């Protein structure tokens, strides 16, 4: 989902240039300075830990989740300086049956990485969401969820998805305004969410500052924190439940270093992501090929149940095989973390369309990417495009296919979320 009509300022954030460059270089901002430099770290095998050979396509997140630990613990024990890059065929230590998943064995951390009272303003990076592989999944959380800073420090949020950052003491406001639920005549994007109320790089002195939705330019939002000691809450309005806090402490109170902040972020992301890999594996194993039931309906699940703060951006099953005249029903579990669409052909860059008004700012209407072009329970034949528009958790959408052929489709919000419907000619039993 892209908003291209209201770009944020391209003002250079000089104070955070170095941090942002490093963060972007590792994709999601989890820097790899863990316990010590590689040449100073010695791998010590904790009691009950065993060797494990890394398989192709595996990530440290996945290995940690399957073995009841976190990826930062694996990185620390194995002296892995960049936990986002591990090589298939190499061996690492993992907890064996009954072993302590978080043993005390660790390398001594350099003094520069220890919590300390800073001699001047510091800069910190918070990850807004984190993508996971395999599985096209995304953790919908701020990491770390709580950040301690001093007055005058700079906080930069690295936007790893479609998120806004809005300071609020009262929680979320709706992303979409709907007639009957709000004083509007047509469905539209809430301008209080979409449009920034403060420029990135500004000094934040309190109140409901909002980054706005992502636009062209670097995926970062930066504020200099000029607040009295206290706790200040912020949210992502796109994903209710995605919350964070900035805790301003007195100048003589030590705060974690940037390296420690990123270790904490990695631990939180790993804890949220770990259980998801098992859920995905089970769904994939149980949904190899979809077929119609006795009622002529094949069922496809978009996203996953029980994944918590993780958006599982997959269709289960990926491929469905039905006959002409049969129906496919897509459903999103009520506890899923994200909305999705069922769309063909993809409609990129057509999400939000400004509608000029005689007085006041334009209405942020939905473009073709989020406007339905076929009714629920509609019929589809060869060459017919279809778009469900936004389907929220708990909703379903059905299509009946009237001609044989292969019908690919995507989620217009999540480009890698794809599926295929294979429609065969009606069998003699069905036509007889």
Other Cβ atoms less than 10 A from the Cβ of 252: the count is 7
Domain ranges in the chain with CATH number 2.60.40.420: 1-8+111-276, 287-431
Report whether 38 contacts 91 (CB < 8 A).
Answer: no
Q: Provide the pLDDT for residue 275.
A: 87
Homologous superfamily, domain 1-8+111-276: Cupredoxins -  blue copper proteins (2.60.40.420)
Report whether 253 contacts 55 (CB < 8 A).
Answer: no
Q: Is 194 helix (H, G, I), strand (E, B) or coil?
A: helix
Name the band, by pLDDT with cuts 50, 70 and 90, for residue 71.
confident
Name the band, by pLDDT with cuts 50, 70 and 90, for residue 420.
very high
- CA dist 265 and 260 (Å) reads 9
> Is the bond leading into 345 cis (omega within 30 degrees of zero)?
yes
With 70 as the cut, is the pLDDT of residue 92 above it?
Answer: yes
Q: Answer yes or no: CATH 3.10.350.10 is held by domain 36-108.
A: yes
- CA dist 203 and 21 (Å) reads 21
The average pLDDT across 86-105 equals: 83
With 90 as the cut, is the pLDDT of residue 112 above it?
Answer: no
Considering the entire predicted model, what is its pTM?
0.72
Task: Count Cβ atoms within 10 A of the Cβ of residue 334 and give its class: 0-12 exposed, 13-18 middle, 19 or more buried.
Answer: exposed
Q: Provide the pLDDT for residue 19.
A: 25
pLDDT tens figures, 128-146? 999 876 558 999 999 999 9
With 50 as the cut, is the pLDDT of residue 1 above it?
Answer: no
Q: CA torsion 199→204→210→213, rounded to 10°?
A: 40
* Phi, psi (rounded to 5 degrees) for 118: -70, 150
* Phi, psi (rounded to 5 degrees) for 235: -140, 165
Domain ranges in the chain with CATH number 3.10.350.10: 36-108
What is the side-by-side order of every strand in the sheet holding 176-177? 176-177, 188-189, 363-366, 352-355
Length in residues, the chain: 432
With 50 as the cut, is the pLDDT of residue 25 above it?
Answer: no
- CA dist 106 and 104 (Å) reads 6
Q: Provide the pLDDT for residue 350.
A: 64
- CA dist 204 and 414 (Å) reads 32
Homologous superfamily, domain 287-431: Cupredoxins -  blue copper proteins (2.60.40.420)
With 90 as the cut, is the pLDDT of residue 385 above it?
Answer: yes
């Amino acid at each position: 989902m892209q908003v291209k009509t209201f770009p944020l300022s391209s003002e250079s954030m000089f104070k955070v240039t170095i941090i942002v460059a490093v963060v972007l270089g590792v994709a999601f901002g989890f820097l790899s300075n863990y316990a010590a430099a590689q040449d100073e770290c010695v791998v010590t095998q904790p009691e009950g830990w065993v060797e494990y050979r890394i398989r192709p396509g595996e990530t440290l997140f996945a290995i940690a989740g399957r073995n009841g630990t976190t990826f930062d613990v694996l990185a620390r024990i194995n002296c892995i300086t960049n936990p986002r890059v591990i090589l298939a065929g190499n061996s690492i230590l993992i907890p064996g049956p009954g072993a302590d998943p978080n043993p005390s064995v660790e390398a001594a951390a350099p003094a520069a990485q220890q919590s300390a009272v800073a001699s001047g303003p510091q800069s910190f990076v918070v990850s807004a969401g984190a993508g996971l592989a395999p599985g096209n999944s995304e953790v919908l959380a701020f990491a770390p969820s709580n950040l301690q800073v001093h007055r005058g420090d700079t906080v930069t949020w690295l936007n790893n998805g479609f998120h806004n950052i809005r300071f609020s003491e009262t929680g979320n406001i709706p992303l979409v305004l709907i007639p009957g639920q709000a004083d509007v005549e047509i469905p539209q994007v809430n301008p209080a969410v979409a449009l920034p109320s403060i420029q990135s790089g500004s000094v934040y002195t309190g109140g409901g500052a909002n980054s706005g939705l992502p636009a062209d330019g670097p995926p970062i939002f930066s504020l200099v924190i000029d607040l009295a000691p206290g706790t200040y809450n912020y949210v992502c309005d796109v994903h209710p439940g995605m919350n964070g806090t900035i805790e301003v402490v007195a100048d003589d109170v030590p705060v974690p270093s940037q390296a420690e902040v990123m270790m904490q972020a990695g631990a939180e992301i790993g804890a949220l992501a770990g259980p998801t890999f098992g859920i995905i594996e089970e769904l994939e194993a149980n949904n190899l090929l979809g077929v119609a039931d006795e009622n002529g309906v094949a069922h496809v699940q978009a996203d996953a149940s029980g994944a918590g703060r993780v958006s599982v951006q997959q269709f289960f099953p990926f491929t469905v095989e039905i006959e002409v005249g049969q129906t496919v029903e897509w459903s999103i579990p009520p506890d899923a973390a994200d909305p999705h669409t069922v769309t063909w052909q993809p409609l990129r860059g057509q999400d939000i369309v400004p509608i000029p008004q005689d007085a006041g700012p334009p209405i942020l209407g939905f473009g073709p990417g989020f406007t339905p072009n076929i009714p629920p329970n509609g019929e589809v034949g060869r060459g017919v495009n279809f778009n469900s528009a936004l389907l929220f958790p708990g909703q379903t959408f059905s299509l009946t296919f009237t001609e044989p052929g292969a019908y690919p489709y995507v989620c217009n919000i999540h480009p890698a979320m794809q599926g295929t419907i294979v429609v065969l000619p009606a069998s003699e039993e069905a036509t007889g």
